[in-house]
Structure 1
Amino acid sequence: MSAPPDYPRLQLTAISKQYPGCLANDRIDLAIAPGEIRALLGENGAGKSTLMKIIYGVTQPSSGEIRWQGERLTMRDPAMARGLGIGMVFQHFSLFETLTVAENIALAMGAQAGTPKQLEPKIREVSQRYGMALEPTRLVHSLSIGERQRVEIVRCLMQDIQLLILDEPTSVLTPQEADELFVTLRRLADEGCSILFISHKLGEVRALCQSATVLRGGRVSGHCVPAECSDLELARLMVGDAEGLESSYPKVSGGLPRLRVDDLSWHNPDPFGCSLERLRLEVRSGEIVGIAGVAGNGQDELLALLSGETRLPRGERERVSIDAAPVANLHPDARRQLGLAFVPAERLGHGAVPEMSLLDNALLTAFGQGLVKAGLIQRSKVRALAEQIIQRFAVKTPDADTAARSLSGGNLQKFILGREILQNPKLLVAAHPTWGVDVGAAAAIHRALIALRDAGAAILVISEDLDELFQISDRIGALCSGRLSPLAETAQVSTVEVGRWMAGEFDQPAAAAAC
């Protein structure tokens, strides 16, 4: 279809979507012009994901009108959207885990794009060009969370894109790689591609986007030019009450060592995985240690070894210790009995069972907190815990009987983190605690982590969000290719230096001295 240049490429008029008991979108108007980079902002549960699914044909609106390049249409399904030149990167991935990277991309592009084998050289070229290296022959189930998001991004960039929808695209990139991606997005926009950009990193929105539409409670609450607003002003548009959103937390020195990783090496049997090389790490009571790094550099392997999902032989049990007790050969429940709590990177399927209620998900890791007596579940106590989590962490949900999969990503993250914090752990290991959550939810999570730290817990946070790590961490380091950089006091290093560590520019022996 062709259209006069003054037509919006995409125009939504009075779009509404009604679910049972929930009006997700309420008469939303949105227009995006050719070559425009527009942000879509809003707190978790504001209706952003539903609106994107309507644009991409995943779900149908209850009412309203969609016009593509001036012509009214019904977006029947994602195949139709892709045929029009619309590409979307979902926050929760839509990949077949038993297929390779190339097979997933071939399925999305259709038979006319060629076979997976024929696509492999182009996948390598595109992924390298955009700083998101991928091996086309790897099976998706062997990829880390961050690497799976790279597949989604590269899959879209290989299409003849007219409208590119990006949901939290930089969460797995270093600052330098994010800058490179922004160069690419600006070039695409200069060539006429429209870009709809969803991010909770407001600095990115201000740097990249020419315009922004803000949703609150399923409605359009305002429009703005991000470059003319501060982060705090954007946050106020999103959540209304900006109290606590600009908190600056004092840095502290920890007490006695609580978690110790001593010369830990681990060979990954997966040829595409990452092995760990002589990691030395200490996390003390009353401090937060942050570990940065691009996804796929050993974070998942380290997390599995700390949580007990991967165990070492008994002869190497002292490689990991909690309060001086060797635990490297212990199962997860035995480590929890010693005071460990764990927030995994993947919410659905790892942090929570999607089909189960919040009530039952609360029991999954907190069963040792007096919720089971003589082999019988104390349902009233489980419900009390679930409701306490919902209330204290402001989880938006109809009730504790709601299935985990029905919550927005940010609200489910708050529930999972709250479940672990309310167990009053001695040691909390948290992976990407605010990935994809809005500024209000992120601020609440940060306050909860600081309060737990100030109560004497030792906290290890693994995240790709450098801004977050610098805000809450007392000491910071980075993983690259299974090697750990020095740990330094956060106040004594810059984001540029940590970015270099993330790229492997550090002297590993210094890591031992830092501990």
Structure 2
Amino acid sequence: MMNARLTLTGITKKYPSVVANDGVSLTVQPGEIHAVLGENGAGKSTLMKIIYGAVKPDAGQVLWNGSEVRIANPAAARQLGIAMVFQHFSLFDTLTVTENIALGLPPDTRLDTLAARITETAGQYGLALEPQRHVHTLSVGERQRVEIVRALLTKPQLLILDEPTSVLTPQAVEKLFGTLRQLASEGCSILYISHKLDEIRALCHTCTVMRGGRVTGVCDPRQETAASLSRMMIGADLPHIETRSHTPGPARLVVEGLSLAKSHPFATELHDIGFELHAGEVLGVAGVSGNGQQELLAALSGEDPRAAHDAIRLDGRPVGRFNAARRRDLGLGFVPEERLGRGAVPEMSLANNVLLSHQGPATVGMGMVRFGAINAMAASIISRFGVKAGGPQAAARSLSGGNLQKFIVGREMLRQPKVLVIAQPTWGVDVGAAAQIRGELVALRDAGCAVLVISEELDELFEISDRIMVIAKGRLRAPVPARSVSREQIGLWMSGIDHAGAAGEAQHAEA
């Protein structure tokens, strides 16, 4: 009888303030695609790090192909044939893509040969990469591609994937699924972490559900519904987002003739970007990562003030040359795609992180920080958004990715902005938290805010957007009503197909 590829028994890992894994047992067979499902903070990431040797368990047994092993570190895991793609990436910003991937390979690896292999593998799986680019020039989505390609290059026996489809078009997701099914048919086992319940049902053979560090159930997801999986994971049905017909108000954010040269050799040039965002609407921006979203965000937020002054207008006022602080004073709210480093300072407390976007009489008086006020604000955000944290003084880096995202979104909503620009609002966030964040965005729209959502999650954009536009190769396709276009068509536009003549066609569709 064939041994299981991986068997975990009684795995326990305790930290000073939490039991991350509490007697977890898990079995993965050769050629099995096995999902691990749970809320943010359920213990999934800790368990995967134990399997990969990045964290040592306090108790429990690990069997690899029937033999007990102690995986001392990631290098030992790779020697066994285990590869992992982390949700939070382990890349060096100052090295190139090729140099980062070479770090996990034998020291005699030739970089020119490796670069050719990277290009070949990336093309095979539809994950476009430029091996010579430095990582600090890549978007979050492009960095995820580096991690996926690095894992695939090792030809692993067990591949651990954490949210691998968040940067892909629907067509590319299907291609990746085909690749994963082929790997499984060849005997590779896959541990698949995703918050997309439909993906798990379509792809995975087995699903282990975790809650509060414990296994609460094992099922065949192909026999379950999205609703039943949700109940197993969070113990309740997903909240329903109420939609309503609406009449948009006046234009709050107007972008016209926005063109920007590359800010660095690997940036995407913006070409004649133009759109209007109205009060009381959600306008979605779809696109494959690396097609100009980063550059558009920087131009809108004020991080890149090179635009012509009247190319960007807030409530009719030109702001193209204003910095981010000046635009915030005029009612702009902004949530970046990178949580740690841009959205929050990792070492600072949640209370102190409030100051990143709340700098006014309520928080600072006569040059002195009102610590009571920022503590109260942080506590309010934690309570309203159900953030799992040790309180306002907890360090930002101590939160799981999803909980930190809820805090950052809540911090920005607390400002009651006239215009909110938000990037990847639910990236890596569990289904319950994602539904809550989307509901809050819709509520903000209903209160009259103009909301611009840049997301690579098409289901998300179709759920909350009134209109959707697509960015490809630095060019923006004019918005179309979300109800008038299919996901497949948006996916084609995201790939750059049929982008010519887009504006006139889109205007016709709206008419």
Q: TM-score range by the shorter chain?
A: over 0.9
1:497 deviates by 1.4
Q: Which residue of 1 aligns with 2:390?
A: 398
| 2:335 paired with 1:343 | yes
1:44-83 matches, cutoff 5 A: 44-83=40-79
Q: Which residue of 2 aligns with 1:192?
A: 187
Gaps of 5+ in 1: none
SS in 1 for 2:432: helix
Rounded to whole Å, the distance in 1 between the matches of 2:384 and 2:94 is 39
Rounded to whole Å, the distance in 1 between the matches of 2:464 and 2:313 is 24
Rounded to whole Å, the distance in 2 between the matches of 1:250 and 1:197 is 36
SS in 2 for 1:197: strand
1:273 deviates by 1.4
Q: Which residue of 2 aligns with 1:36?
A: 32
For residues 476-507 of structure 1, the C-alpha deviation after alignment (integer angstroms, 9 at most, x for no partner) is: 01110001112011111111111121112232
For residues 233-284 of structure 1, the C-alpha deviation after alignment (integer angstroms, 9 at most, x for no partner) is: 111111002151x435235331100011101111113222111111111110
The residue type equivalent to 1:88 in the other structure is: M
Rounded to whole Å, the distance in 2 between the matches of 1:248 and 1:130 is 38
TM-score norm. by structure 2 comes to: 0.97
1:183 deviates by 0.4
Identity among equivalent positions (%) equals 54
The residue type equivalent to 1:26 in the other structure is: D
1:158-177 matches, cutoff 5 A: 158-177=153-172
Rounded to whole Å, the distance in 1 between the matches of 2:505 and 2:417 is 27
Q: Which residue of 1 aligns with 2:219?
A: 224
**Which deviates the most, 359-368 or 64-73?**
359-368
**Pairing partner for 1:8 from 4, 7, 14:** 4
The residue type equivalent to 2:504 in the other structure is: A
| 2:488 paired with 1:492 | no
| 2:283 paired with 1:293 | no
SS in 1 for 2:362: coil
Go from structure 1 to structure 2 and tell me whether the alpha carbon gap of 1:253 and 1:494 turns closer, same or farther (over 3 Å shift). farther
Alignment RMSD: 1.3
**Pairing partner for 1:354 from 346, 371, 375:** 346
- Note if contact 1:130-1:180 (Cα within 8 Å) is conserved in structure 2: yes
1:65-464 matches, cutoff 5 A: 65-111=61-107, 114-244=109-239, 246-247=240-241, 249-312=243-306, 316-368=308-360, 370-464=362-456
SS in 1 for 2:237: coil
The residue type equivalent to 2:463 in the other structure is: Q
TM-score norm. by structure 1 comes to: 0.97
The residue type equivalent to 1:464 in the other structure is: E
1:511 deviates by 7.8
The residue type equivalent to 1:74 in the other structure is: R
- Note if contact 1:251-1:473 (Cα within 8 Å) is conserved in structure 2: no
Rounded to whole Å, the distance in 2 between the matches of 1:21 and 1:326 is 49
Go from structure 1 to structure 2 and tell me whether the alpha carbon gap of 1:347 and 1:500 turns closer, same or farther (over 3 Å shift). same
Aligned residue-pair number? 507
Rounded to whole Å, the distance in 2 between the matches of 1:459 and 1:301 is 18
- Note if contact 1:369-1:423 (Cα within 8 Å) is conserved in structure 2: no
The residue type equivalent to 1:397 in the other structure is: A
